[in-house]
């Protein structure tokens, strides 16, 4: 259950308007990284300490939220697949309202705000209204999850390029540039692709990748509940279905995945440490 201090998103109510400051407020659009609070940047932590109000989404881990000062008002504006607590436009409007009321507003977003994060849309609205803002990059899920899974995204012997794509389109379909993805010596990282995993594997094989190309799914990367399922393009969908993984997950495709056998170093709670 969500902490009782966190209240559902609402507009500042007419009965209790946010306290007015003489100066105009400002917005900090901050990448909170993939989950492990130790992966926050120094700048992110500084701005978290300064914020009057924090708007955060479902990817923000409890460990990150715990770093907010007690005085900071917390507003959940989370978006999960098919369960949008708030529409993007409403979040944009809320940022504007709080800033115009003179508050220092922290907009905490999972990973990096500019990587599949709609951060650009949020600051576009602020810019149009003449509101001061700052953007703080965060460690995007691909980098965090790959590192904690022991899978280097590039490697001179296996992959010289790496692409990040989203496996979830607005209309729920998956329509990727398959010939561009199915290139040799390339690592593919798919965000939001769990439901499309069987299609993704099938299409990559159809467009020329070998069935035995390494592939993995990382669930809740960098956290103490991280789970990693590995296999090949041919075997991964069945293995993942059996493991009953759930979002957030990342798919990593490429022969770099095999390096995990040697490079796995991270042992989340409840898992025995990998062999030295
Ligand atoms: C809307 S995108 C936001 C991406 C975010 N801006 C970033 O840079 O990581 C949400 C997707 O990111 C991925 N994701 C975020 N955090 C993750 C984590 N800790 N482990 C695995 N995947 C994660 C999942 O694919 C999830 O569905």
> SS3 for 224-259, per residue?
CCCEEEEEECCCHHHHHHHHCCCCCEEEEECHHHHH
- 94 phi and psi, to 5 degrees? -65, -40
Smallest CA separation from ligand 1 atom 22, residue: 249
pLDDT by residue, tens only, the chain of 276 residues: 333 334 444 455 444 555 554 468 999 999 999 999 999 999 999 999 999 999 999 999 999 999 999 999 999 998 655 555 678 888 999 999 999 999 999 999 999 999 998 888 889 999 999 999 999 999 999 999 999 999 999 999 999 999 999 987 656 678 899 999 999 999 999 999 999 999 999 999 999 999 999 999 999 999 999 999 999 999 999 999 999 999 999 999 999 999 999 999 999 987 777 765
Q: How far is the CA of 78 from the centre of ligand 1 (A)?
A: 13
User: Under a CB-based contact definition with an 8 Å cutoff, are residues 56 and 77 in contact?
Assistant: yes
Nearest CA among 11, 40, 18 for reference residue 28? 40
Looking at residue 88, what is its pLDDT?
86
Ligand 1 binding pocket includes 117 (Cβ within 6 Å): yes
Residue of the CA atom closest to atom 15 of ligand 1:
141
Which residue puts its alpha carbon closest to atom 7 of ligand 1? 111
Which of ligand 1's atoms lies nearest the C-alpha of 35? 19
Predicted confidence at residue 269, as pLDDT, reads 83
What is the position in ligand 1's atom list of the atom closest to the CA of 119?
6
Q: What is the pLDDT of residue 212?
A: 98
At 260 the pLDDT is 98
Cα gap 275→261, rounded to integer Å: 10
For residue 125, CA distances in Å to 96, 118, 122, 268 come to 8, 12, 5, 40
**Which residues, in sequence order, are bridge partners of residue 54?**
74, 106
Give the chain's count of helices (H) and strands (E).
9, 13
Q: Which residue do the tokens 């279905």 mark?
A: 241
Q: Nearest to residue 92, comparing CAs of 79, 111, 81, 80?
A: 79
- Triad 93, 95, 96: Cα angle to 5°: 65
Hey, whose CA ends up nearest to atom 5 of ligand 1? 111
Q: Which residues, in sequence order, are CB contacts of 41 under 8 Å at separation 6+? A: 31, 33, 136, 137, 138
64 Cβ below 6 A of ligand 1: no
Total residue length of the chain: 276
Ligand 1 center from residue 110 Cα (angstroms): 7
- pTM, two decimals, is 0.89
Q: How far is the CA of 81 from the centre of ligand 1 (A)?
A: 12
Q: 111 in ligand 1 pocket by Cβ < 6 Å?
A: yes
Q: Are strands 214-219 and 249-253 parallel, antiparallel or unpaired?
A: antiparallel
Report the pLDDT value the prediction gives residue 168, as an integer from 0 to 100: 76
State if residue 116 touches ligand 1 by the CB under 6 angstroms criterion.
yes
Q: Dihedral through CA 103, CA 111, CA 118, CA 151, nearest 10?
A: 170
């Amino acid at each position: 259950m969500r902490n009782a201090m966190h209240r559902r998103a609402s507009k500042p109510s007419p009965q209790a308007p946010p306290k007015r400051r003489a100066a105009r407020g400002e917005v900090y659009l901050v990448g909170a990284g993939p989950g492990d609070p130790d992966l926050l940047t120094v700048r992110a932590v500084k701005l978290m300490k300064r914020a009057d109000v924090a708007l955060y989404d479902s990817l923000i881990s409890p460990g990150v939220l715990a770093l907010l000062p007690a005085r900071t008002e917390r507003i959940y504006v989370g978006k999960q697949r098919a369960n949008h607590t708030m529409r993007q436009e409403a979040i944009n409007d809320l940022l504007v309202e709080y800033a115009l009321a003179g508050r220092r507003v922290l907009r905490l977003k999972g990973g990096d705000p500019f990587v599949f994060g709609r951060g650009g849309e949020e600051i576009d609205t602020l810019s149009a209204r003449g509101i001061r803002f700052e953007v703080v990059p965060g460690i995007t899920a691909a980098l965090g999850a790959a590192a904690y899974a022991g899978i280097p995204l590039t490697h001179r012997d296996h992959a010289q390029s790496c692409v990040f794509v989203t496996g979830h389109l607005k209309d729920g379909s998956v329509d990727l540039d398959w010939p561009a993805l199915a290139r040799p010596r390339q690592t593919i990282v798919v965000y939001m692709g769990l439901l499309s995993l069987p299609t993704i594997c099938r299409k990559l094989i159809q467009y020329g990748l070998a069935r035995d190309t390494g592939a993995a799914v990382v669930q809740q990367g960098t956290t103490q509940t991280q789970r990693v399922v590995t296999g090949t393009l041919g075997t991964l969908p069945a293995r993942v279905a059996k493991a009953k993984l759930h979002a957030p997950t990342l798919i990593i495709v490429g022969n770099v995945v095999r390096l995990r056998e040697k490079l796995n170093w991270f042992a989340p709670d409840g898992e025995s440490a990998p062999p030295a």
